[in-house]
Amino acid sequence: MFAFVSPLTALTRRPLQPPLRQSLTRTTFVGRALLAAAVIATPLTIVRGESSQAPTPSTTMTLSDLATLKDIDGNPVSPDAFAGKVVFAMNVASACGYTQSGYALFKKLTDKYSPNDFVAVAIPCNSFGFQESGSSEQIKSFALARADKLLIMERSDVNGAKQHPIVQLAKSKFPGKISWNFDGRYVFDRKGHPIARFGNSASDAEIEATIDSAL
């Protein structure tokens, strides 16, 4: 008995001929290319959650780009106050265990360096233990009684979305939260770039050596 095999069945059992294989290969390649092009052309939307951190400023920014600074009296601070000078900035509080040594450092630095070459900036902050809770006038009087050549900024946060612009700029080079009063100690060079960060356990000699090298 002979088995009947239809022409269609016989055709499907035959191996693909080279021309047909090449045709399928070209079709697959073209399909993949079109798919890749469609993916590239499709706009990519990234949804980000809200952040408690302030936007990181460009690393090309300097102190001269900070046009919204205000002092403890609410007066604008011109970027010219920092032009061509080495700047040492530190967060302060009036009722902290580091208050005496912190202001003694300010006094030493402002007595040692000429105001033509150096600016010391105090940034009052009440975020740690509510130890800077006085009025602006009280903060100013307390600070100047201990270091009379300070530039005292308005009271501000030093972490999060409302952190002081000087601190924000410094963190663009030296990221990381300030953990306590007098813990954010930053040195900026004459061009307004942050060049060093120290904590509240740093020695005065370390900070002075960095300032000396920047002058």
Give the H/E segment covering residue 152. strand 151-152
**Tokens matching residue 138:** 């009280």
Calpha distance 92→121 (Å, rounded): 10
**Dihedral sign of CA atoms 89, 95, 98, 103 in order:** positive
90, 93, 96, 152: the active-site residue: 96
**Tokens matching residue 204:** 């005065």
Calpha distance 60→173 (Å, rounded): 10
- Residue type at 144? L
Classify residue 91 by burial, with Cβ atoms within 10 Å: 0-12, 13-18, 19+.
Answer: buried
Calpha distance 32→49 (Å, rounded): 34
Q: How many residues does the chain have?
A: 215
96 is catalytic: yes
Terminal-residue alpha carbon distance, the chain: 107
Calpha distance 47→28 (Å, rounded): 34
Residue 106 near residue 150, CB atoms below 8 Å: yes
The residues annotated as belonging to the active site are 96
